Structure 1
Amino acid sequence: MTRQTRHLSVYIDRPVAEVYAFASDPANLPRWAPGLGSSVVREDGAWFVETPEGRVRVTFAPPNEYGVLDHEVLTPSGDVVYVPLRAIADGTGCEVVFSLRRLPGMTDDEFDRDTGLVSGDLARLKQVLEVA
């Protein structure tokens, strides 16, 4: 099966270090990615998000100087979804790039829906950070 990926991005007029610091903190997810879930808790060193499908565990890449915000989402069914996400310096601001991968069995409508949700999340991230 050929994998399909859509690279969605937004330019944020804030220094990359500020964007990275905010977006890499799972406690901030409800502020910019409410579609993932509205309640985030840290238990025994792990981050959990309450979603409409149930509780998921979110694990971000270790802190790094390269803007890598990749994370894994362990779903209630036990599936692991790998989410590539980067904050890339661009002048005095930065570009945030989300690589949305089409999951096996996902219909065109579902992939389009997820594209819209991620685009909305990126727009919210821009709004939250540029207003701050």
Structure 2
Amino acid sequence: MAWPAKHISIGINRTPDKVYAYVSSPENLPSWAAGLSGSIRREGEKWVADSPMGQVRIQFAPHNAFGVLDHDVTLPNGVTVHNPMRVVPNDMDSEVMFTLFHRPEMSHDELQSDAAQVLEDLMRLKMILEGK
């Protein structure tokens, strides 16, 4: 059975290619993604980041021309969470969209908390890219 999904998005006053270039670079994650606020380093095809939960492994979608920024995060307990993310043109600017799934083990309050964190992260990303 499919999990309910919550789509969180924000407009950014920058071209999609500039937004994609910044977001698709894992080295930039700690500057805008609070859940990965520690250091990040490459280990083979994956990246390892310090997070409030401990070390997590992140594998990103290959670079592409379609704005796909999907990434899988493997938590310290071994569970892998798929995170669909896109940057799409919105006239001359961009829309960045993140899909948050309401997984069975999540309470409604956890989902709301995660959604609020994603929105904060996207707002931080907007501020960085717009130079505010």
Structure 1 length normalisation: TM-score? 0.94
Spell out structure 1 runs of 4+ moving beyond 6 A: none
Distance 1:96 1:45 in 2: 24
Q: Give unpaired runs (5+ residues) of structure 1.
A: none
Partner of 2:25: 25
| In structure 2, distance between residues paired with 1:44 and 1:59 | 10
2:126 aligned residue: 126
Specify the alignment match of 1:90 in structure 2: 90
Please name the residue that 1:11 is paired with. 11
Percent identity over paired residues = 43
Counterpart-to-counterpart distance in 1, 2:44 and 2:64: 22
Corresponding letter in the other structure for 2:52 = P
Q: Does 1:103 pair with 2:103? A: yes
Matched to 1:115, the amino acid is: A
Question: Structure 2: any 5+ residue segments left out of the alignment?
Answer: none
Q: Distance in 2 between matches of 1:2 and 1:84?
A: 15
CA distance in 2, matches of 1:21, 1:2: 32
Contact residue 39 and residue 49 of structure 2 kept, 8 A: yes
Report Cα offsets for 1:47-89 as digits up to 9, x if no partner: 1101121111111100000000000001111111000000001
Alignment partner, residue 35 of structure 2: 35
Give distance in 2, aligned partners of 1:46 and 1:59. Answer: 5
How many residues are matched?
132
